[in-house]
Structure 1
Amino acid sequence: MRKIKVAVIAHGLGMSRGYSGEGNIYKSFFEMLEERKIDYVTISFAKPYDTSIPSIYTLPFHLPKLDKYQRLLTYYTAKKVKPDLYLNASGVPIPLSEIAPHVIYAGAPSIANLPSKYTRSLFWKLYLLPFRLVINKIKDEAKKAKIIANSRYSAKAIAEVYEINEPKVIYPPVDIEYFQRAYSEEKRENFFVTIGRIERGKMLENSIFLAAKSGVKGIIIGSLNEKDYLNKLIKLKRELNADVEILTDLSREELLKVLSRAKIYFHATIGEHFGIPVIEAMASGVIPIVPKESGAYEVVPEFSYSDIEEAVILLKSLLEKENIELRREMRNRALNFSKENFKRNIFNEISSIIF
């Protein structure tokens, strides 16, 4: 068997053809390794959709469900190889440190006591039961592995759940160059935009509540994951007489066109570990309003809300002017989150292990 320098744990490759926020972490890892001519292989539980990358997997078919379980089950694939380094983009401390050094890029653990769909219903609490059954093994691995968090918000939750010191933070990569194409200092329209997958965990009803209480038009943009949730949102906006458009599965070019017109971005997901659309909006010159209870608070604490009433006040205030200088500042602040910065920072963390 050929010597493997780096095994990239990327469970989601077997779940979807597209690349979500986490999928963009995978791509950035692959680019980082390829640019430095470092041999690597990807590790997933189910068969990847993308056959162009070197991969090892266990299931001979794709499995688009059971995301959290696949993060654990990837262990059975990973232990088949002995690389110089496991670079884990799936975020869970599966026990690999006894085989090779293990570096984990992680958001807050799903069993953390943070607002999310996993704390909102009995169904989701039962869904996460296997994690609680193996929590001691996960904690042990967290103490042995090197964990890097995607925000200070996540770092605090990681430290609390795994009973370790707060890990180092490296913010995730954002395609700043692409979204800057929507930036201009021309007059913009008085509406807000929200970006997020159409699924319950994204709490998109908050955008409808904001539109209803403020009287300001909102546009929700997202890939359609849950049709019944979309129907619920449509019903809610009718009941509240809220001026909200819901646009599903837009192309990136269509998304840019909307961002180029909007004045405000509203992040609806309370408890989000980071929130990449916040940075995409900022790069586009759109001023964000974000939950205090989220990783995005670290980026724009001056425009954060605790409840919808507070968000309404912020929204109306920011719509009063064109805020050219503020839009410029948001764009400049977004530059810190470039993919190049991310790849350089991650490489600095792993280089001493593989060389």
Structure 2
Amino acid sequence: MKFNPDIYIDTMGYAFTLPLFKYIGKCDVGCYVHYPTISTDMLSKVSDRRATYNNASFIARSKVLSYLKLLYYKLFAYVYGLAGSCADVVMVNSSWTLEHIRTLWGKDVSTVFPPCDTRAFLNIKRKDVELKLIISIGQFRPEKDHALQIRSFAKFLQKISNDKRRCYKLVLIGSCRNEDDSKRVGSLKVLAAQLNINEHVEFALNVTFKELKNHLSMATIGLHTMWNEHFGIGVVECMAAGVITLAHNSGGPKIDIVTEWRGAPTGFLADSEDSYATLMYDIFSMGNNEKTEMRNRARESVEARFSEKAFETRFIKCMSAVIEESKD
């Protein structure tokens, strides 16, 4: 109350701070939403009684608990919408997030793709190695669905003759935030052993940026399996590094990232063990010229759309009206 800002911008997803600054602080309010606190997908999963990472199986099995949770979600979504409606400027990081926020908040929304340090990845020089690498970049959270990657890779290896399998490896690169993540890595190692592919699967935990770039320089395929990821910076990083992307056919990767550029594809999309395995095989079967052309298109597309410069230009344009109003 002693020092009110002229403009308040939330970039952390704290929607319930917006009415505080709007009506108590009398500020112009803007926000940049990375992920909705609640989404229409979450409502549909509870309504359909589907067990998933945000809907425990014991709730999904119970009509009463599912009804009560759905009621709570709907109430929360309503209040969340009221808080969001206080914003004068609403920016989101992807088309997927845009549709959810527009539905929940009832506001005009602008898409401002997040700033990716594309230069660091565009400068990576490709290395010719005998080993044929598939890499995955992402924290070991349940929604990343690393198990799907391992099962898909196992099916892919079944398509490869025994004498050539030794050349292929899946490297899962990511950070472990806590004990739960460490246990999750342990269960993934058990899965790889059960599928008899543990010698083909490597876990690169908490790697340095230098190590990450080294993996990217040698990889042929960048693998992503999260359903309905809101954006997917890891996908952008792979494309910028010249790694052919194989991402989930949903959310940000489908709508915004792995799209056509200059009338040709920049990567591939899949949604099941079979489709992932088939596309892995197809990618490794591509000719060198075809791979190079796709890599170049992907690199050009991410530099044009997801660089820090592109973010700055779009962000300033969206905020200009509020800034001018604040000056007056």
TM-score bracket for the superposition, by shorter chain length: 0.7 to 0.9
Name whichever of 264-273 and 245-254 sits farther off. 264-273
Corresponding letter in the other structure for 2:10: N
Of 141, 160, 178, which aligns to 2:83?
Answer: 141
Does residue 325 (structure 1) correspond to residue 293 (structure 2)? The answer is: yes
* Preserved contact between residue 228 and residue 250 of structure 2 (Cα < 8 Å): yes
Report which structure shows greater RCO (CA 8 Å, sep ≥6): 2
Shift of 1:248: 0.3
Structure with the larger helix share = 2
Stretch deviating more after TM superposition (329-338 or 94-103): 94-103
Matching residue of 1:109: 36
The unaligned stretches of length 5 or more in structure 2 are 43-51, 61-65, 158-167, 260-264
Contact 1:290 1:304 (C-alpha < 8 Å) held by counterparts? yes
Corresponding residue of 1:223: 175
Unaligned runs of 5+ residues in structure 1 are 1-78
Query: What is aligned with 2:95?
Result: 152
Find out whether 1:93 has 2:18 as its counterpart.
no
Choose from 229, 232, 257 the match for 2:187.
Answer: 232
Relative to the length of structure 1, the TM-score reads 0.70
Aligned to 1:276: 233
1:205 corresponding residue in structure 2: 147
Task: Give me the CA root mean square deviation.
Answer: 2.8
Kindly name which structure, 1 or 2, has the bigger radius of gyration based on alpha carbons.
2
Corresponding residue of 1:118: 54
Superposition pairs for residues 22-101 of structure 1, below 5 Å? 82-94=4-16, 95=19, 96-98=21-23, 99=25, 100-101=27-28
Residue equivalent to 1:344: 313
Go from structure 1 to structure 2 and tell me whether the alpha carbon gap of 1:239 and 1:343 turns closer, same or farther (over 3 Å shift). Answer: same
CA contact (8 A) 1:188 1:263 kept: no
Deviations 1:133-165 (A, max 9, x none): 544332123223122111111111222333x15
Distance 1:331 1:122, change over 3 A: farther
Aligned residues: 276
Deviation, structure 1 residue 198? 1.6
Within a 5 Å distance, the mapping from 1:174-193 to structure 2 comes to: 174-184=116-126, 189-193=131-135
Cα separation, 1, equivalents of 2:308 and 2:56: 34
Matched position secondary structure for 2:54: helix
Any conservation in 1 of the 2:128–2:218 contact (CA below 8 Å)? no
- The alpha carbon displacement at 1:315 in A equals 1.4
Deviation per residue, 1:208-241 (Å, 9 max, x gap): 1121111152110001121111111111111112
Separation of aligned partners in 2, 1:90 and 1:130: 23
User: What is the alpha-carbon distance in structure 2 between the residues aligned to residue 272 and residue 195 of structure 1?
Assistant: 13
Aligned mates of 1:352, 1:326 — CA distance in 2: 39
Q: Which moved more, 1:260-269 or 1:299-308?
A: 299-308
Residues 248/129 of structure 1: CA separation in 2 closer, same or farther (3 Å cut): farther
Worse overlay, 295-304 or 227-236: 295-304
Specify the SS of the correspondent of 2:123. Answer: helix
- Identical residues among aligned pairs (%): 25
Give 1:177 shift. Answer: 0.8
Please give the TM-score of this superposition, normalised by the length of structure 2.
0.76
CA displacement at 1:110 relative to structure 2: 3.5
